[in-house]
Chains A and B, each alone.
Chain A
Amino acid sequence: MSPRRRRLPWFAGLVLAALVVAAVFAPYLAPHSPTEGDLIKKSIPPIWMEGGNPEHPLGTDRFGRDVLSRIIWGSRISLVVSLVAIGVAGTLGTLLGLVSGYRGGRTDAVLMRLTDIGLSLPTILIAVVMVAVSEPSFRNVVLVIALLLWPRFARQVRGETLAIKEHDFVALAVVAGRSSAWIIRRHIFPNVVPTLLVISTLQVGYVILLEGTLSFLGVGVPPPNPAWGLMIADGRGFLATAWWMSLFPGLAMLLTVLAVNLMGDWLRDHLDPRLRQVGPQVELLGPAVTQPESTPARGIAAASGEP
């Protein structure tokens, strides 16, 4: 292992800070309304191109809406979608994972089979069916994403819980007559938090992309919301005449997801208790020591798929 500690990824930090600022202060930063457009001002190119208009630095889209303003407001949507979806999925998944891992036995078997089922369903197809059932709205898209994400948290947290459970301080608490709830709250959960933070961060990117994919399939955040994914999907057929409609939101998404992922990797190296320890060897097979089905491969498999 290299003795060098990786520095805080300043690039990722900067991008994420900008994202948060844009999302919070969108009404003050955006020069125009994100949803009101004028067809007469359709497809104005960015400012540095011939026919550009200083009013619209990054040009306008097919409905004459200001691309820059839509990107700024879009950061809010990306942030809200990922925070809420991950919040809901994370809470549910963590709860189930903690219970499953701590209780073990039949509870564990049932909960883990449920998690398996959740993981086995083809994410995007199920999302399409669910949105078709409920019709696309901001809320439904968030809920659908959350519903698809919880098993990933449940699985990871369970594995983690199993490992922590083996520590002496847990055994001591049991001997001291503490209740299961107390032990989970005071001993196990705090130790799970770093991992939770890492997976959550890594999932942010996935959620942002999933929103875009759902928009491509016509079941994403409904128009005229300035969601990045929707903007990219909307402009994908106009790359010769109005590439700026999809390229700029595409760049915004690219930078954000890149930053979130790099940040997640950094957090992983620093926060993950097992990687932080001098002997990193437990990282992979630690959980596997106690229960065969918590192979790390699956935990990561859960993070794949194709948004």
Chain B
Amino acid sequence: MASYLVGRAFQTVLSMLVVVSIVFVLTRLSGNPIYLLLDVNATQRDQEILTRHLGLDKPLPVQYGIYVMNVAVGDFGNSIISRRPVTEHIWERLPATVELGFVAMFLSVLIGVPLGMYSAVRRGGVLDTAARVFAVLGQSMPTFWLGLMLILFFGVVLGVLPAGGRGGLLHLVLPAFTLGYFTSAAILRLTRSAMLEVLGSDYIKFARLKGLHEQVVLWKHGLRNALLPVVTFAVLLFVQFLGGAVVTETVFAWPGLGRLILESITTRDYPVVQAGVLVLSALYLTGNLCVDLLYSYLNPRIRHVSS
């Protein structure tokens, strides 16, 4: 187990290095930031001075080497645009991002799990279809569209919720719902199949034979056992929301990490893009690793239960 753990951890670090490299190459290919830092009328000399100042005059492999070495000791460099440490920018955006991601995940589970349960219990029935159509509807329109509709309806027509920006708890409702509704269909599917699997298992049959109340069977024995994959999925979903909410953040003027990276792409602020993507994929890879370890730890028991 220990050697497996070390091996996997090592592989994860290696994966991050690959991620760094991919992003490094991609961003360098996408154009030079100095054109956006200077006026179009700037002279050749201004360009050279700035290029040297930013260290962009060195050959790419050298720049890459410097970058990797700095990252290894935790130095992500300075933003090209603001000249402030990249970590400062990322920390600045993290609270908004975590807040939104957490509430969105919560809403997603809140919609997805009950509907998934229902859909499993009433498999093939009208309610099953209705529940699934409701969840799938959230996945059937682009989030920017859903977001704008919600803003217009709740923000402008009804005037009950803020139309955009970050502020109190109310500001969270619309963006979190937009994001959470979209993924609730996935939660529903997962809950549904997990429930179906659990409900078909021997111990549920046994519990029913014992004459336990159906609701107790469902909620206590059924859901509890179906919950593990749902929870792990929700955790990964949360990690994905941290950077994957670009569109929601743009539509709702939410100052999150995704928008920071998106805007840094348009200004070719390499260090911010690199660090941002690295942080996101590191979170994902670590989350993944934890899930794997958890499963391998729980596996014998689960195998025992299901067979």
Instruction: Decide if A and B touch, CB cutoff 8 A.
Output: yes
In the complex, the answer to whether B247 meets A304 with C-beta atoms within 8 Å is no
A84 within 8 A of B: no
Known A-B contacts A2-B123, A6-B124, A125-B258; the reply to A232 vs B186 at CB < 8 A is no
Partner of B306, one of A113, A281, A305, A307: A281
Residues of A in contact with B (beta carbons under 8 Å apart):
1-2, 4-6, 109, 113-114, 116-117, 119-126, 128-130, 132-133, 205, 209, 212-213, 216-217, 229, 232-233, 236, 239, 246, 250, 253-255, 257-258, 261-262, 265, 275, 279-285, 288-289, 292-293, 295-298, 300-301, 303-307
In the complex, the answer to whether A261 meets B246 with C-beta atoms within 8 Å is no
Can you list, as one digit per residue, whether each of B240-251 has a CB less than 8 Å from chain A (1) or not (0)?
110111111010
- What are some 29 contacts across the A-B interface (CB < 8 A)? A117-B281, A120-B15, A121-B277, A122-B243, A122-B280, A125-B258, A129-B23, A132-B31, A212-B142, A216-B142, A217-B246, A246-B145, A253-B141, A257-B141, A261-B136, A265-B136, A265-B189, A283-B193, A283-B197, A285-B302, A292-B292, A292-B296, A295-B292, A297-B190, A298-B291, A301-B233, A305-B244, A306-B241, A306-B244
Known A-B contacts A125-B258, A295-B229; the reply to A1 vs B132 at CB < 8 A is no
B125 within 8 A of A: yes
In the complex, the answer to whether B27 meets A129 with C-beta atoms within 8 Å is yes
Partner of A306, one of B179, B197, B261, B280: B179
A305–B201 Cα gap in the complex (Å)?
32
In the complex, the answer to whether B197 meets A253 with C-beta atoms within 8 Å is no
A13–B271 Cα gap in the complex (Å)?
48
Partner of A129, one of B179, B240, B250, B265: B265
B270 to chain A, nearest CB (A): 11
A107–B303 Cα gap in the complex (Å)?
26
> Which residues of chain B are near A6, meaning CB under 8 Å?
123-124
> Which residues of chain B are near A307, meaning CB under 8 Å?
142-143, 247
B263 to chain A, nearest CB (A): 11
B109 to chain A, nearest CB (A): 13
Tally of chain B residues near chain A (CB < 8 A): 79
Partner of B200, one of A233, A255, A279: A279
Partner of B229, one of A250, A292, A297: A297
B78 within 8 A of A: no
> Which residues of chain B are near A129, meaning CB under 8 Å?
23, 26-27, 30, 265, 273
> Which residues of chain B are near A113, meaning CB under 8 Å?
11, 14-15
Which 3 A-B pairs have CB atoms at the shortest separation, nearest pair first? A292-B296, A120-B281, A212-B142
B160 within 8 A of A: no
Q: Which residue of A lies closest to B179 (CB)?
A: A306
B237 within 8 A of A: yes
In the complex, the answer to whether B277 meets A126 with C-beta atoms within 8 Å is yes
Can you list, as one digit per residue, whether each of B167-209 has a CB less than 8 Å from chain A (1) or not (0)?
0000000000001001101100110011011011100000000
Residues of B in contact with A (beta carbons under 8 Å apart):
11, 14-15, 18-19, 22-23, 26-27, 29-31, 122-125, 132-133, 136-137, 139-145, 148, 152, 179, 182-183, 185-186, 189-190, 193-194, 196-197, 199-201, 229, 232-233, 236-237, 240-241, 243-248, 250, 258, 261-262, 265, 273, 276-277, 280-282, 284-285, 288, 291-293, 295-296, 299, 302-303, 306
In the complex, the answer to whether A117 meets B280 with C-beta atoms within 8 Å is no
Taking A4-B125, A304-B183 as given, write out 20 further A-B residue pairs in contact, using a Cβ cutoff of 8 Å, ordered by the A residue number: A4-B124, A122-B243, A122-B281, A124-B244, A125-B273, A128-B262, A129-B23, A209-B141, A236-B148, A254-B140, A257-B140, A261-B140, A261-B185, A262-B133, A282-B306, A293-B288, A293-B292, A301-B233, A303-B186, A306-B246
In the complex, the answer to whether A250 meets B145 with C-beta atoms within 8 Å is yes
In the complex, the answer to whether A285 meets B246 with C-beta atoms within 8 Å is no
B205 to chain A, nearest CB (A): 11
Main DSSP-derived SS at the A contact region: helix
A302 to chain B, nearest CB (A): 9
Q: Which residue of B lies closest to A124 (CB)?
A: B246
A134 to chain B, nearest CB (A): 9
Most A CB within 10 A of own CB, among B145, B179, B277, B281: B145
> Which residues of chain B are near A119, meaning CB under 8 Å?
284, 288
A69 to chain B, nearest CB (A): 21
In the complex, the answer to whether B261 meets A254 with C-beta atoms within 8 Å is no
> Which residues of chain A are near B273, meaning CB under 8 Å?
125, 129
Known A-B contacts A281-B197, A283-B197, A285-B306; the reply to A295 vs B295 at CB < 8 A is yes
In the complex, the answer to whether A292 meets B299 with C-beta atoms within 8 Å is yes
Known A-B contacts A213-B247, A297-B233, A301-B236; the reply to A288 vs B277 at CB < 8 A is no
A48 to chain B, nearest CB (A): 22
In the complex, the answer to whether B258 meets A133 with C-beta atoms within 8 Å is no
